[in-house]
Amino acid sequence: MPYTELPAPNPHERLTRLGRLTLKELREILRDRRTIVTLVLMPLLLYPLLTIAFQQFFVAQLSTVETQRLTIGFRDRQEGHYLSQVLDLGGLGVVDVDQEPPPMADGSAPKVIVEAGVRPELEFGLKEYDIHVGLRLIDPQRLQFDPQTDLAVDVEVLCRDDWRESLDAAALIEKHLRAASDKFLAARLSKLGVTQRAVPIETRRRVVVDAEAGSGSIQIMAVIPFILILMTVTGAVYPAIDLTAGERERGTLEILVAAPIPRVGVLFAKYVAVLTVALLTAAANLLTMTITLSVSGLGRLLFGEHGISPGVIAAVFGLLLLFAAFFSAVLLVITSCARSFKEAQAYLIPLMLVSLAPGMLSLLPHVKLSGLLLVTPLANIVLLGRELLALKADGTSALIVVGSTVLYAGAALALAARIFGAESVLYSSQPGWSDLFRRPKLPQPVPTLTAGVLGLAVIFPLYFFLINLLGTRVGIGRQLLWGALVMAVVFGAVPLAICWMRRVQIQRSFRLPDRALVVFAGAVLVGLSLWTIDHELVVLSQRLRHVTLRVDFLEKITAFAAGLRLFPAAIVVLAVAVIPALFEEAFFRGFLFGALRRSTTARTAIIGSALAFGFFHAITPNPLAAERLLSSTLTGIVLGWVRWRTGSVLPGLLLHACHNGLLVLLMYFEPELTARNIGVSSDVHLSTAWSIAGVASVAVGAALIAIAGRPAEADVEAPLSIQ
């Protein structure tokens, strides 16, 4: 019988099979009693117990009592006696620590007892919680409180911003000092003196915080997201083990892999099932927690009279969704390497212990969402959750946390796909970490999607750490040198190492395009004109966000530009414009674009690489980083289109270098241009003539590239693979 090739299934049929497989995995895992226990019973038992614990150990710090005792520290007894007189004039009686306060006129106990003591080191007393507030005179001249003479006394109030009782005590002291000031002013003006200043007693508050020690107590705002995340992880652990190592132990995984569905589709169905259970667990825990806080009254104590708002709940659930997507993929990576249920459990115990470390670190009050913690998995989610609950979340920090977690989730899923797609899965042999580092036998034309996502996940935290470390350097020369080294290491060495491991032929991306002269001419024209559009987008973003440049930032820019002028213009352009353009194009339009184009459409590759390009520029330590997100992304779209249209990185590299070089030269020669009345403010729109000329030049350059260039055949017919 002659051989006849069966027709390939259409995409709709593949999606239908994948949907049926996903529903099958969900039904099986949701029918399991252990899943139901984790999903329903644990939240019902856990949060009432936690609420009781919070009420016993934490609420006592927030609640008020009938008689409140506050301790004031003075520098010496002479100042203490004088300031006690001032407070007494303002209606606040002060007693020594060892004395009992006199009863009220009606015989009842006073609501506030203010005890005073001498502490020569007021800051140390605050750090050790020995006093609530420290008071001292600034440059005392005459310690006499006589309305017959002029008075100009400056009182410094020292307190802690991480101790509520200290802040309340400072507010109380300031209130009575103002009252004393008003009374003295009334008495002094009765003498009709003309030399008396309008404010005889000026109060200045200075917050004292021990940056190294912190308060040492655990904050409820950090405990809540930490518990929610732990419960989300708990809900995802069992499904991940059962759907991978459990099926391998039962002998059903080989049958499933042999089904007419790609192995990546099988993994995707399992990932959706694990993620769904994790999200259901997160939703059940969040709902139970919200109801428990509302019923117990703890929510009003923590979040104010109206309790926790729906917007905050939605934001916290979004964080849980993000974390569940990341950790579900991590669990599949670990469990796919195990042959049995017990072996997978043994693998996950160290993972859970390692995961507890950053989570516990984030519970410390002095740990802030900044620096390397912004890109540390789990810790950044807990800290951002704490900021959201306290209504102190910063947009830039949230962007970095969300972006880094998305990258980590994609990298973990790519690793799981690589392990799951190994031959060891099909033949029931032992899969392992060696499958991740196995080099292909044949050279690859472009990186795989797995390599691209892993490259992003490695480069992002490395770039974030080094670029922020570079910002603390002093000396323009060192900044130029280190900046070039950072670009070479991050966007050069890391992708090159991955290409070597995957046998990727990097020279393909750097070939000369067809009709190179016309293409390069168009690239130069676009590169020298694109700044006009970028400038308008930055100004528009500033206007929409109501942002104005701070004076200190303008002074830093001016000082940086003056430092650049100490070096020849050619060196500055090379270090600030050409080298970044070279390595950024090699990574974003060479490495990353090729990986995306291999498994997706050209449009997805252009937009995906542009979003990554804009995101990397948005995390730089620059006050205008958020405003430059839109303009950098647009520039990335233009560069990605040039890469696709010409089939080469070289035209985009030339465009990028011209764009950067022009901006650097404008800053370098700013004094000369200003002397000739030529200059552009960073917060003012360009004139209509400049805008029209810039758009027209970009259009002409793009037309030259579109006419002379054409998509390379290798790019159009790129094979589909995500391994």
User: What SS3 class is residue 116?
Assistant: strand
Show me where the domains of the chain are located. 20-52+218-438, 65-207, 454-716
Q: How many CA atoms lie within 13 A of 374 on its CB side?
A: 22
**Residue located via tokens 């000092």:** 177
Residues facing 117 on adjacent strands: 73
- Reply yes or no on whether the pLDDT at 544 is more than 70: no
Both tokens of 636, joined, read 């990335």
**Residue located via tokens 């006093």:** 131
Residue 362 contacts residue 225 (beta carbons within 8 Å): no
Q: How would you classify the pairing of strands 112-118 and 133-137?
A: unpaired
At position 89, the amino acid (one-letter code) is: L
Residues 309-316: contacts with CB under 8 Å, at least 24 apart: 312/388, 312/389, 312/391, 313/286, 315/388, 315/393, 316/225, 316/228, 316/286, 316/385, 316/388, 316/389
Task: Read off the pLDDT band of 410 (50, 70, 90).
Answer: confident
- Reply yes or no on whether the pLDDT at 581 is more than 80: yes
Q: Which fold has domain 65-207?
A: D-Maltodextrin-Binding Protein; domain 2 (3.40.190)
E strand or H helix at 30 = helix 11-30
Length of the chain: 723
Average pLDDT value over all residues in the chain: 76
Among 391, 223, 365, 368, which residue's Cα sits nearest to residue 308?
391
Burial class (CB in 10 A: 0-12, 13-18, 19+), 375: buried
Distinct helix (H) and strand (E) counts, the chain: 32, 6
Over residues 649-678, the pLDDT tens digits come to 999 999 999 999 998 888 888 778 777 776
What 8-state DSSP symbol labels residue 444?
B
- Secondary structure (DSSP) of 668-691: HTHHHHHHTT----TTSPPPHHHH
What integer is the mean pLDDT of 197-218? 55
Rounded to whole angstroms, the maximal C-alpha distance in the chain is 123
Q: How many CA atoms lie within 13 A of 181 on its CB side?
A: 18
How far is CA 689 from its chain centroid?
A: 40
What integer is the mean pLDDT of 317-325? 85
User: What SS3 class is residue 117?
Assistant: strand
Question: Which of 527-536, 589-598, 714-723 shows the lowest mean pLDDT across its residues?
Answer: 714-723
Three-class HEC string of 58-103: CHHHHCCCCCEEEEEEECCHHHHHHHHHHHHHCCCCEEECCCCCCC
- Reply yes or no on whether the pLDDT at 585 is more than 90: yes
Please state, for a pLDDT cut of 70, what percent of the chain lies above it.
Answer: 70
